Amino acid sequence: MNYRVIGNFSEYSMNMKTNIKVYNQNDVFVDSIDLYKNRERLNFIYNIMDKFNIRDKIQLENDLTQLIEIIEKHKEKKEKEKS
């Protein structure tokens, strides 16, 4: 599984809306979700599980956690550059 954050359209303390592209050799799945909302993350995970016929929910949750950390680091870097 490969992930690509296509873009962030809002980065506030209460939400982080993002377009995420998930793909492998055969299929592509794109969705817009708020990474800070548990329900949207779970729906995203279940959609990926259905689309790619995957049953490892814990790994997908870990992948999303890593994506959130990367986006937050990028956000902090941009804020430091503005200062």
Q: Which string of b and e fits 16-47 if b means at least 16 CB within 10 Å?
A: bbbebebeeeeeebebebbbeeeebbeebbee
Task: Kindly report, residue by residue over 32-74, the tens digit of the pLDDT.
Answer: 999 889 999 999 999 999 999 999 999 999 999 999 898 888 8
Task: Assign 10 a pLDDT band (cuts: 50, 70, 90).
Answer: low
Looking at the structure of the chain, the number of domains it has is 1
- Pick the more confident residue, 78 or 20: 20
Q: Which of 71, 5, 58 is nearest to 32 (CA)?
A: 5
Contact of 35 with 64, CB cutoff 8 Å: yes
Measured CA to CA, the distance from residue 47 to residue 43 in angstroms comes to: 6
Q: Which domain holds residue 44?
A: 2-82
How much is the pLDDT for 13? 64
